[in-house]
Amino acid sequence: MTFLHTALFAAGAACVAIPILIHLLLRQRRKPIRWGAMRFLIEAYKKQRRKLKLQQLILLATRCLIVFLVAMALGRPLLEQAGLLGAGQGTTLYVLVDNGLASSARGTGESGDSSGLEQSKQAARDLLRELGPGDRAGLIALGGPAEPVVIPASADLSAIASLIDGLEPTASATDLSGALDLLGAHLASEAEGESAGARVVIAVMSEFLLGSADISRPLPESLAQIPNVSLVAMEPASASGTNVQIVGVEPLNQVVLTGTGGSSASVGRENVRVRLRRSGPGVSDAQVTQVRLRVSGGRDSRLLPGMQVVYRWQPGETEGAVTVQIDPASGSDNESGARSLDQRVLVAEIDRDTVDADNTFRRPIDVREALRVGVIARRRFGSVGGAIEDLQPGDWLRLALRPSFAAPIDVVEIDPGSIDAPTLASVDVAFAASPELIRETDWTRIAEFVERGGLLIVTPAPEAPVQLWSDAMSRELGLDWRIAREAQSPDGGSIGIDPRAGDSALLTLIRAEIEDLVRPVAVERYLPIESDVREADVVLRLADGTPWLVVGEPARADDTSGVDRGLVVYLASAPQWRWTNLQATSLMVPLVQELARQGFGRASGDWTSVAGRRIGAPERATQLAPVGVEQAPVDLDGSGRTMSPIRSAGLWEAIDEAGRVRGFVAVNADDQASRVQIQDPSSVRAWLSAAIGQAGSGAGDANGAGSGATFLDPDEPGAVFSAEQADSPLSVPLLIAALMLALAEVFMARWFSHAIAERSEGGPSLTESMGLAP
C-alpha cells in the first residue's frame, strides 16, 4: 500500500507504540505491603485474573487501533494506485506539451537562452518521474493541429519521456482546443469500458503567451462531463522578449509580364510591400528593423541579390510596412513551358529575434513573357476599320488589351460557337463580349475554366433586347448574382461614375488617378445586378450607388486545392456607344489592362499557405517535395491537397507524375501564433478551468487549489497528485472510524474499571464496588 503523505503515516504509525509503552510501564512490579483484608482481595483477583487481562488487552488494542487509523487518515492511502481497489487502476496522466510557434520564443524563463518548449519539456519529465509503477501516461503535442502522440495512455513511462525529448517547435498555432476535444472523446469512450472510475490528470505544459493561448476565445467544455478529471498547468510566463514578425509580402503586380524576350531590362523594378508586426515589452520603445527582400530563381534554393531597407519603429507602434523595389525576373534561366512560365519566389527576411520562424516569409509569383487573353465575340475578318461608331465591344477590348505591339498581352480570338476545353486551356483570361452567343453547354466549359484558376470578364450583349444568357452564367458558375434581363437607362439620359473607387486590389496601380480617370465617363444604359451584392467586391459604382463593376468568386462543389482560385468580373455596361462612352475615355485602357493583369493574378491563386493546414498544389501535381531540406516528398490526395497538415514553414515544389515541376508552394508561419505578450495568471487559470466545467475563480489557496485548474509547483511537481487527494474518499471514513473507536474506548474503560456498577437496594458491598464480588 502506498500513501500520499508517507512521512505523516510513518510518524503516526510510530505513535502506536505509545499506548503499548504506557501499558508496560503501568505493569511494573512494586513492593507489596500486606494488610488484613488483603487475603480476600487476592482470592477475588485470582478468580477474575483471566477476565481482567482480556479486558486490558481489548483496551490496549482499541487504543493502538485508534492511533493507527488516525495515522492512516493523515497519510491518505492510495489504495487504487496500490491496486487494492478499483481493479488495479492507478492515475492516468495526459501530458499536453505546447510545441506551437510561440513555444520557440527565447527569454521567457529564468534562463534567457532556453525556449519555452525546453522548459515545458523539462516540466513534463519532472511530472512523469512522480508517477508510480501502476500509473499510465499519454502524450499530445499541441503544435496545430493537435497531434495525439501517445493515445491511449501507456505504462511505458520511459518511452514517453523519450518522445517528449524529441518534440520540436512547429510554425503553426497552438491547438489546445483541438487537443481537449480529442482527449474528451477518448476519455468518454474509456469511461464506458474497463477504465471507468480511473483518476485522470491532464497537465498542460505551456507558458501561455498570447500566441499560444488567446483567452478571449473560450475553450470547449469537452471534459466537463468526464468524471474524476482534473487539470493542471505550468505557471504562465512572467517575462518575454520583443518579437518582430513578417505578416505578409504583397507584390503590386501579382503576375510579372516581361514582354517578348523575357529580359530583365524589359520589366524594370517591381514594388513589393512587406508588412511587419511587433509584440512584447519593447513595443513602447523605438526600434530599428532591417528588411531584406530577395528573389529565389530556378528550381533550387539559390537566393539572388536583392534589396535591403530599414524600418524605424516609433514608440508604441505595433504595425508597419516597407516598400522594396526588386527585379523579379533577375536570374531567370528561361526554363519556360508552353506559355513561357518561369515562377519565382520572393523571400523577405528580418534579423533574428525572440522567435525565429516568423523572420522569413516566402511568396511565389509568376514571371511570364505575355498573358494570353481570349476574346469571345463575333468574329470579324480583316483589320478594324470603318466608322468608329461601328466598332463592337470585342473590337474595343482588343484595342485596349494590346494598344501597341510591345504590350505583353497576346489576344486570342474565340468563336462563341466553337468554345471547347482545349481552346480555353490555352488562355489565361476570357473576355465574354458577346455572351448572348454562348450556348448553355459552353457555359459549363467556361465554369470549369474558371474553377481551374481562369479569369472571366463579362459585359452585356449590346444588341440583345432581352439578356437571357445571365441565368445560365449565374447557374453554371454558382454565382449569387441575379442579373436583370432588360437594360435600364438613368434619369436624365446619362449618369457618371462615383469617383470614390472601391478598395479593390484590382485597381491598386491606378487608384491614385481614379478620380481624374472616371470624371469624363458617362453611362447611358446598364444591366444591373438585382440581387444583394454585399458578398461581392464592388470595384466601381454609378453616381447613384448602383454597382457597375463587380468582382466575385465562383462557388465550388468541392475544394480541390484548398486555394481560392478563379474569378468573375462583371461590367454592367457594354463598351459600345449606345451604352457608354467608356471606350473613348482615358479610363478604358488602364481599366482593361489592370482587370486582366491583376484579375488573373488573383484568379490563378496565391500559392502560399499557413503552417498547420493541409496545403493545396497547382493542377496536375501529385507530390510536394521540400526545397533545401532533407525530407521525403509528400503525396497529394485526390483533391490535390496534402494528406496530412504541414506544420513547418518552408518552400515546396509541386511535381506531376512525369517528374516535372508545376510550380512552387510556400508555407509560412502563422502570424497569429508568434505574439509574445504575457498574460495574467488568474485569467489563464479561469480560462483553463472552464474546460473542465469549473469556474476557476472560487475560494482556494494561493495556488488556486480547491477550485478549477491549478498551477504546478516547479519545486514540488508531485504536489499535483496531493491536490488530487484533497477530497480523498478514504480519509474521512478512517477519521470517523477512529472517532467511533475512541468513544467505544471511553465506555469500555469505564465499564471495565467498574466505575459503573449495578447497585442493590441495600447499597454495594466493598467487594462489589471494586468488581471483586464472586
pLDDT at 34: 65
Helices marked H in 291-426 — which ranges?
A: 393-401, 421-425
Instruction: Give CA 770 to chain center in angstroms.
Output: 84
State pLDDT tens for residues 179-189: 999 999 999 88
State pLDDT tens for residues 609-640: 999 999 988 888 999 999 888 888 999 998 88
Q: Please state, in angstroms and rounded to a whole number, the distance separating the CA atoms of residues 492 and 522.
A: 12
pLDDT at 774: 41
Comparing C-alpha atoms, which of 239, 217, 186, 240 is closest to residue 688? Answer: 217
CB distance 700 to 706 below 8 Å: yes
Helix (H) or strand (E) holding 744: helix 731-752
Q: Please state, in angstroms and rounded to a whole number, the distance separating the CA atoms of residues 745 and 462.
A: 110
Q: Averaging pLDDT over each range in 321-335, 379-393, 684-698, 727-741, which range is the top one?
A: 684-698
Measured at the CA of 647, the angle between CA 643 and CA 648, to 5 degrees, comes to 120
**Residue located via cell numbers 480511473:** 198
What is the Rg, in whole angstroms, of the alpha carbon atoms belonging to the chain? 41
Asked if the model's pLDDT at residue 773 lies above 50, the reply is no
Which tops the pLDDT comparison, 72 or 519? Answer: 519
Contacts of 724-731 with CB under 8 Å at 24 or more apart are 724/91, 724/199, 724/201, 724/230, 725/4, 725/76, 725/78, 728/4, 728/76, 730/73, 730/76, 730/77, 730/79, 731/73, 731/74, 731/76
Q: Please state, in angstroms and rounded to a whole number, the distance separating the CA atoms of residues 508 and 526.
A: 25
pLDDT at 186: 92
pLDDT at 47: 64
Give the model's confidence band at 263: pLDDT under 50 very low, under 70 low, under 90 confident, else very high: very low
Q: Please state, in angstroms and rounded to a whole number, the distance separating the CA atoms of residues 684 and 712.
A: 13
Average pLDDT of every residue of the chain: 82
The grid coordinates of residue 713 equal 509547483
- Largest Cα–Cα separation, the chain: 160
Q: Please state, in angstroms and rounded to a whole number, the distance separating the CA atoms of residues 489 and 491.
A: 7
DSSP-based three-state secondary structure for 317 = coil
Q: Please state, in angstroms and rounded to a whole number, the distance separating the CA atoms of residues 233 and 123.
A: 10
Q: Please state, in angstroms and rounded to a whole number, the distance separating the CA atoms of residues 41 and 34.
A: 11
Comparing C-alpha atoms, which of 305, 311, 321, 323 is closest to residue 252? Answer: 323
Find all residues with CB under 8 Å of 638, minimum gap 6, and list them: none
State pLDDT tens for residues 342-382: 678 899 999 999 999 999 999 998 888 889 999 999 876 55
Asked if the model's pLDDT at residue 702 lies above 50, the reply is no
CB neighbour class for 31 (10 Å; exposed up to 12, middle 13-18, buried from 19)? exposed
Q: Please state, in angstroms and rounded to a whole number, the distance separating the CA atoms of residues 210 and 692.
A: 21
pLDDT at 329: 65
The grid coordinates of residue 768 equal 462489589
Which amino acid would we find at residue 113?
A: D
3-state secondary structure 596-628: HHHHHHHHCCCCEEECCECCECCCCCCEEEECC
Measured at the CA of 232, the angle between CA 227 and CA 233, to 5 degrees, comes to 150
Sheet of 429-432, strand order: 409-414, 371-376, 429-432, 455-458, 567-571, 547-552, 537-541
Average pLDDT over residues 587-592: 94
DSSP-derived secondary structure letter, 78: E
Burial pattern 535-566, b for ≥16 Cβ within 10 A else e, equals: ebbbbbbbeeebbbbbbbbbeeeeebbbbebb
All domains of the chain, ordered by start, with CATH?
6-77+730-769 (no CATH), 92-239+679-723 (3.40.50.410), 250-361 (2.60.40), 371-603 (3.40.50.880), 609-677 (no CATH)
Asked if the model's pLDDT at residue 759 lies above 50, the reply is no
CB distance 222 to 715 below 8 Å: no
The grid coordinates of residue 519 equal 470624371
pTM above 0.85, yes or no: no
Average pLDDT over residues 412-433: 93
Instruction: Give CA 100 to chain center in angstroms.
Output: 9
> What percent of the chain has pLDDT above 70?
80
* 24-33, 256-265, 376-385, 586-595: segment of lowest average pLDDT: 256-265
Asked if the model's pLDDT at residue 768 lies above 70, the reply is no
Give the model's confidence band at 457: pLDDT under 50 very low, under 70 low, under 90 confident, else very high: very high
Comparing C-alpha atoms, which of 615, 631, 629 is closest to residue 663? Answer: 615
Average pLDDT over residues 295-310: 68
Phi first, then psi, for residue 551 (nearest 5°) are: -120, 135
pLDDT at 33: 66
Give the model's confidence band at 83: pLDDT under 50 very low, under 70 low, under 90 confident, else very high: very low
pLDDT at 273: 93
CB distance 613 to 524 below 8 Å: no
Q: Please state, in angstroms and rounded to a whole number, the distance separating the CA atoms of residues 540 and 449.
A: 26
Q: Averaging pLDDT over each range in 56-60, 302-306, 381-385, 625-629, which range is the top one?
A: 625-629
Residue 128: how many CB atoms within 10 A of its CB? 20
Q: Averaging pLDDT over each range in 548-557, 566-575, 737-746, which range is the top one?
A: 566-575
Asked if the model's pLDDT at residue 133 lies above 70, the reply is yes
DSSP-based three-state secondary structure for 722 = helix
DSSP-based three-state secondary structure for 219 = coil
* 1-10, 281-290, 312-321, 500-509: segment of lowest average pLDDT: 1-10
For strands 255-257 and 303-313, give the pairing: unpaired
Comparing C-alpha atoms, which of 101, 105, 144, 97 is closest to residue 280? Answer: 105
pLDDT at 727: 47
Which tops the pLDDT comparison, 605 or 451? Answer: 451
CB distance 104 to 669 below 8 Å: no
Asked if the model's pLDDT at residue 577 lies above 90, the reply is yes
Phi-psi domain of 217 (left: phi exceeds 0; alpha: psi -120 through 50; beta: other) = beta
Comparing C-alpha atoms, which of 691, 700, 669 is closest to residue 355? Answer: 669
State pLDDT tens for residues 195-247: 556 789 999 999 999 999 999 999 998 888 888 888 999 999 998 999 999 99
Asked if the model's pLDDT at residue 604 lies above 80, the reply is yes
Asked if the model's pLDDT at residue 504 lies above 80, the reply is no
Comparing C-alpha atoms, which of 347, 355, 384, 469 is closest to residue 115? Answer: 355
DSSP-based three-state secondary structure for 273 = strand
Average pLDDT over residues 308-332: 86
Q: Please state, in angstroms and rounded to a whole number, the distance separating the CA atoms of residues 14 and 21.
A: 12
Give the model's confidence band at 88: pLDDT under 50 very low, under 70 low, under 90 confident, else very high: very low
Q: Please state, in angstroms and rounded to a whole number, the distance separating the CA atoms of residues 693 and 468.
A: 58
